[in-house]
């Protein structure tokens, strides 16, 4: 399978089980998943469909993805960086050059990579690590506050600012700014950074999923 189109109103997961997955009114949206691993496409498709996204198609290679996105014009393209025929950056460049209006979100399973600088320069809305893909994370990224949420999530995993910076392809200074924004939104006064960090993590763990 190089590319596959799903009927509107159904996701890849719904197609396989024979059930229609309703889209919540809060965030209707169509999405194409591009990844060369069928299991990943199925898993992430099901996860996002449950959160309300309509998975209208999937592709396993870059050229097929370009054709599919041109035909379907989904709201979002979840695009793996590593593909068999061309990388995700080339796909994003070609979609942008064609004037496609879909929001492109890059993803990868790599903790680090030589493409860190390319992520920042690419015509994409952002980068979402594969293990962090969820409906709320995708919505947060598209809304512009994804990095704050991502910093807090990784903070809760016990990662240092340097570790968070490497994971999200940010500079340590950027991580500090996002962390400060999180502290401010949680109403944590400038005191001991360690204390605020612990309180922020506690607030994160107590929040509803």
Q: What is the pLDDT of residues 121-144, one digit of tens each?
A: 889 988 888 888 988 788 777 877
Number of Cβ within a 10 Å radius of residue 119: 20
Write down the H helix ranges in the chain: 12-17, 38-50, 62-72, 88-97, 116-121, 135-143, 146-156, 161-168, 172-185, 193-206
Distance between CA atoms of residues 62 and 160, nearest Å: 35
Two tokens at 110? 């790599």
Q: Which CATH number fits domain 145-209: 1.10.3720.10, 1.10.10.10, 3.40.190.10, 1.20.90.10?
A: 1.10.10.10
pLDDT given for residue 120 in this prediction: 72
Number of Cβ within a 10 Å radius of residue 4: 18
Q: What is the pLDDT of residues 143-178, one digit of tens each?
A: 777 778 788 888 888 899 999 988 888 888 889 888
56 neighbors 32 (Cβ within 8 angstroms): yes
Q: What is the pLDDT of residues 82-113, one digit of tens each?
A: 999 999 999 999 999 999 999 999 999 875 45
Q: Angle of helix 135-143 relative to helix 146-156, nearest 10 degrees?
A: 140
Residue closest to 113 by CA, chosen among 137, 124, 99, 129: 129
Every domain of the chain and the residues it spans: 1-143, 145-209
Write the class of the CATH domain 1-143.
Answer: alpha beta
Confidence (pTM):
0.66
Distance between CA atoms of residues 73 and 67, nearest Å: 10
First to last CA, the chain: 34
């Amino acid at each position: 399978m190089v590319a596959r189109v799903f009927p509107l109103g159904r996701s890849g997961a719904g197609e396989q089980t024979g059930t229609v997955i309703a889209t919540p009114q809060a965030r209707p949206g169509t999405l194409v998943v591009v990844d060369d691993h069928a299991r990943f496409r199925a898993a992430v498709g099901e996860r996002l469909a449950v959160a309300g996204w309509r998975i209208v198609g999937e592709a396993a290679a870059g050229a097929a993805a370009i054709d599919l996105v041109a035909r379907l014009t989904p709201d979002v393209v979840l695009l793996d960086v590593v593909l068999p025929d061309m990388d995700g950056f080339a796909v994003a460049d070609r979609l942008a050059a064609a004037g496609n209006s879909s929001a492109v979100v890059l993803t990868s399973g790599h903790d680090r990579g030589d493409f860190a600088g390319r992520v920042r320069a690419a015509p994409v809305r952002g980068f979402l690590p594969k293990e962090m893909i969820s409906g709320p994370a995708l919505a947060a990224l598209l809304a512009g506050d994804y990095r704050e949420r991502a910093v807090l999530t990784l903070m809760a995993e016990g990662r240092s600012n340097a570790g968070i910076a490497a994971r999200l392809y940010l500079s340590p200074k950027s991580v500090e700014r996002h962390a400060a924004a999180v502290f401010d939104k949680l109403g944590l006064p400038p005191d001991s950074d360690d204390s605020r960090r612990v309180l922020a993590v506690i607030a994160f763990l107590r929040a509803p999923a």
